[in-house]
Each structure stands twice: as structure tokens, then as C-alpha cells.
Structure 1
Amino acid sequence: MTTTRSERHVPVNTVPAQDPTGLHITLRTGSGTGSTRLSAFDHALHLAGVADFNLVTLSSVIPPGSRLEHVDTPLAGAHGDLLFCVRAEAYASHPGEVAWAGLGWCADETGAGLFVEHHGSSEQQVRGLIAASLADMVATRGHDYGTVSMSLASATCVDQPVCALVLAAYQVATWHESTPAATTTGAVPPVTPDDADTSALGDDEAGRSVSVPVPAAAQSAVARVSVESRVDTVTAADYYQLYRDAFSDIETRAVARHMLHESEFLEEMHDPRVRKYIAWGHDGQAIGMTTLTTDLEAVPWISPRWFARRFPEHSARNAVYYFGFALVHPEHQGAQVLHAMIEPMALEVMKNRGVVSWDMCAFNDARGFGETYMKLLEAYGEVTTEVIDHQTYYAATYHDPATDSTR
């Protein structure tokens, strides 16, 4: 039995504007469950009244004249119509895990405003992320958009995957009338290997995917490697299962937590600052992933200021890279898949005369992973590799109360 619950926090007057010609944006929530993450997402859509639409996700800007209203009734429209929307969803797949999703927004007296969407493992985390994002976005525009409002949903997993969903429905359109709009949603055509330049991936092209050449030595195992700036939520949830399969044994092998929680993993998959290098098998399935970033603020377990002090010249050129993690599906583990993903990363760092850092627990180091990474990286140029820090964990085990002679 899976329990779900939804919590909504919507002021009575979310947007002052009452222009009858403006958009009537309806806010909807749903907390669904299913035997898979995808079916849990579909159940949440059903509870939100929008299950039979094809969703077109927007970039979170509220047009002037808009008015917002929270509703619990199904949205009118024909089966298969397009729904232009902003949405946040969160997933939990293991007993006891809680998923929180939230939309936050603010709008001025004309009804123009901004939406943000976040997800996490607690209400406090999601509220904090929403407030921080909107504060930055408002400051960037230098315009007073008024008070921040939020709508939140949560779902708790007991024995099946769950999905918490908050969706702002902008407008419904048929395929015929929406054809021009549907071609402007940010899709980017595939890039051929000869034209691929992973350095072109940035915040302004979130969602872009490029293909990079597969080394000859890896082609028997890897059909292609793609570089993604942002991965959609449903696909990211599937990747998280691959991540768990690859890292499950580390939970009992290292003192420090090396596995990201699902909410943290999904946040990283959505973060365009972190590039995802994905290896695909010949059956079309993802079999490996590595991550790389030059924005060290995107890596919560390191100190960007330390790197700025240690590598000042590289930092000034934005040429300090962090290699987040490397995973290969247990059925495909071997140097070939790792080689296919690390080569494009190493070539980029080499091109920029950069420095790339990574961390590794003693268990994986003893298994030879550190040496493998070094050999792969050293194949692309003259490289100096050094250990830049150590962490030691201590344990004091008490056996008996202290006596006078031992004090």
C-alpha cells in the first residue's frame, strides 16, 4: 500500500490582474502511485485532471493580464490535445522516501510574472529553493514582481514508486492550430560527430543534446555517446535506477555517503551547469554516464574557494573542471564504456589547457579505479596528476565505564 498526500499553499488573490482577455492559468496538484515511476507520473496527471493531454513544457514566464486559480476539476479538451504548461514533479521509489514538488511564482499589478519549479526530499528544501530562485530572477530583471506564492505537493513511498506533481496549465490547443508554436519549444536537431562541440552546451541552451565520436576501441560495446545539458524528469528517473545498480555496493563499503539521494540526482540531471555524458548500447539503452562541470557551485560537497586559491590562473579562465561521477551498468562494466565517455571529457579539458579534479573512496581506489582514470586521462596529453586532499574517519568504541585507574 502506498500513501500519498498533497499540500497546497495558494493565496486567494494570486495575481491582481482580472483582464478577461488574458490567460486563465489553473494550478493543479496530484500525488500518484504505480508499479513504475512512469505510471506513477501518469496517475498524478490523472489526479490533476490533465492525463489525456500531450504536455508542452514552457520556460516559466507569466504573460501580462494573466490570472491564476487553483482548481480540482479536470481540464476541458479533447484526447491528445496539446497542453502548454509549467510543471514540477518529484519521485520516490524506496520505502520511507518522501518526494516533494513545488511551483513558486510572483506577479506585478499587470499580471506579468515568473514561475519557478523545484523538487526535493522535504518541504523546507523545496520552499528554500523556490524562494532563492525567484529572488535571483527578480534581481536579474530589476523589477518588483510582488509577493512570492507557492503550491506544493508531496508523496510518500511505502511499497511502490510515487510521484508528486504540481502543474500550471496555461492553454490547450489542437495539433492544427498549434503547429507554429510547437516548433519553437527549444528542440535542437541532432549534431553530427564532426560538428560536435561540447563546450557549446550552456545555460542558454538547456535541453540541447549533441553527439560525440565513439573511440574505435569502444565501438563494440558503445553505439554512441551523447552529451546532455538537461535531462527530462521521466528519463532522469530511469537513469537513477542505472545509477543505483552501478553504485549499490558502495553504501556498505565507504564511510562517506557516495550515493546521491534520488531528489539530489534528479536535481543534477535538471541542472544545465552539469554536462551529462551518456553511453548508449547497441540495443538503444543507456549503459553508462559521467558528469562534468566548470561551475563548482554545482558540486555541493566541494569548496569552490579552495580551488580558486589552489588554481588561480585556471579559475580566472574558467578552466577548472570537476568530474562528478562515472557509472557503468553492471552488465557492461569494463574499460570500453568508461573510455567512450571519458575521451570527450578529456579532449575538452585538454583543449582549454584546464585542470580536472575528482574524488574517490579508498575502496574504489584499491580496486584500481583511480589508476584507470589516470591512464585514460593521460592518453590525451602531457598531464601531471597529484593527490590534493585526504579525509580520515575515526571511531572510538567504548567497552566499559571509566574507573579511577583509567581517568
Structure 2
Amino acid sequence: MLDLVPTHVFLTKGVGRHKYQLKSFEEALRNAGVAELNLVQVSSILPPYCKIISRDKGMKYLTPGAISFCVMARADTDEHGRLVASSVGVAMPKDKTKWGYLSEVHGHGMNRLQASDMAEDLAAGMLGTTMGMEFDPDKAWSEKEQAYKSSGLFIKTSNITQTAKGQKDLWTTTVAIAMFVFDK
């Protein structure tokens, strides 16, 4: 059996607009730089030892047409003025031999800060529970973030977030993506 464990991940985002929803999604993928890939969405585990790299460096690992694994958040609207948000949150443990988490937020009516805070909060919460940490879900992310970081178990939380407002007579699509890559 083939053991596919990504060695690197990069974050990217995009927005697209078009008369047709599918073409709007394609435009968002193009804006994110990954439209030429066959994307396979996977769940939320960031493998042990997986390093976050820049989009430019990560794109060098990929070949057009390749089957490529990702965690993707996507939001669409065809309502003029409606705010859409897509965000992927990242939570990495300090111990590199352990796995981390990625989370996806797909929202309507959320601004960039709300979506990014929620994505980081979700990723950190999932990682925290694997480490035996439980926090009140009603507490603000800033409170929980300080507790997570002061525990010494987390090395990093981050996110990538794309927001946009719908335009008249067009579909608007936002995507936020964590693209997995493998050493060649």
C-alpha cells in the first residue's frame, strides 16, 4: 500500500466572479494559483514533520494535471452585497513528531477577522483536545489563544482567509486552501 504523507503544505486564497457558479469557482482557483491541478479534498490532519512553505516554493513541487491533495474552504453567493468568507486555520504542536490540525470555515455575513479568528479557534480547539486541553467554547479566541500558547504545547496558529462581497448579476466565490506537497 502506498503511504502518502505530505512533507510540506502551503496556503493560498482566491476570489472569482462570473455569470455561472462553476466558472466563478474556476476563477477563484485560478486567482489562488491552483486551477491547473486536479484537487482532492481531504480532512483536517497536518502530518507530523510537515513544514509550511511559501506558495511560490510550493508551486514548484506541483505539475499541471497532477492529482493534488488539499484542505479547502469555499463560499459562494449570487446576492448583490452579500459578504462571503473562506478561511483555513492551522494549529501546529510544538512536538514535531505529533500531528496538527487544519480547519475550514465557509461563511456568509462574516468579515475577514471573524472568519480568521473562527478558523484558528477551530484548529487550535481540535489540536488542544488531542492534548487533553479543554476550554469553554464561549470564550473569545484571544483568551483561548493566550492559554494555548502559554501551555507550551503549541508552536504556531495561523490562517489564510479570503472575503468578498457579491456583485449584481454575478456569482462570487471565495476559496482558502492548504495545498499538500510531497518531496520529489
TM-score (norm 1): 0.35
C-alpha RMSD of the superposition: 2.6
Equivalenced residues, count:
153
**Identity score, percent:** 26
The aligned counterpart of 1:368 is: none
The aligned counterpart of 1:65 is: 49
- Answering whether residue 117 of structure 2 is matched by residue 108 of structure 1, we say no
- Work out the CA distance in 2 between the residues paired with 1:70 and 1:152: 15
The aligned counterpart of 2:70 is: 85
User: Which runs of 5 or more residues in structure 2 are unaligned?
Assistant: 1-5, 133-152
TM-score (norm 2): 0.72
Structure with bigger helix share is: 1
The aligned counterpart of 1:118 is: 105
The answer (yes or no) to whether the contact 2:124–2:157 under 8 Å persists in 1 is: no
- Work out the CA distance in 1 between the residues paired with 2:70 and 2:105: 15
The aligned counterpart of 2:139 is: none
Render the CA deviation track for 1:86-130: whole Å, top value 9, x for unaligned: 111111211111111101111123174111010212134423432
The answer (yes or no) to whether the contact 1:48–1:72 under 8 Å persists in 2 is: no
The answer (yes or no) to whether the contact 1:85–1:167 under 8 Å persists in 2 is: yes
Larger radius of gyration: 1
Q: 1:89 to 1:55 in 2, by over 3 A?
A: same
* Local SS of the residue matching 1:96: coil
Residue type at the aligned position of 1:129: M
Which of 1 and 2 has higher RCO (CA within 8 Å, sep 6+)?
Answer: 2
- Work out the CA distance in 2 between the residues paired with 1:141 and 1:155: 34
* Local SS of the residue matching 1:59: coil
1:19-98 to 2 correspondence within 5 Å? 23-71=7-55, 75-76=59-60, 77-98=62-83
The answer (yes or no) to whether the contact 2:116–2:160 under 8 Å persists in 1 is: no
C-alpha displacement at 1:74, in angstroms? 8.6
C-alpha displacement at 1:167, in angstroms? 0.9
Deviation above 4 Å: which 4+ runs of structure 1?
Answer: none
User: Which runs of 5 or more residues in structure 1 are unaligned?
Assistant: 1-21, 173-407
Query: Which of the residues 136, 155, 180 maps onto 1:170?
Result: 180
Structure with bigger strand share is: 2
Query: Which of the residues 139, 156, 181 maps onto 2:165?
Result: 156
Q: 1:135 to 1:63 in 2, by over 3 A?
A: closer
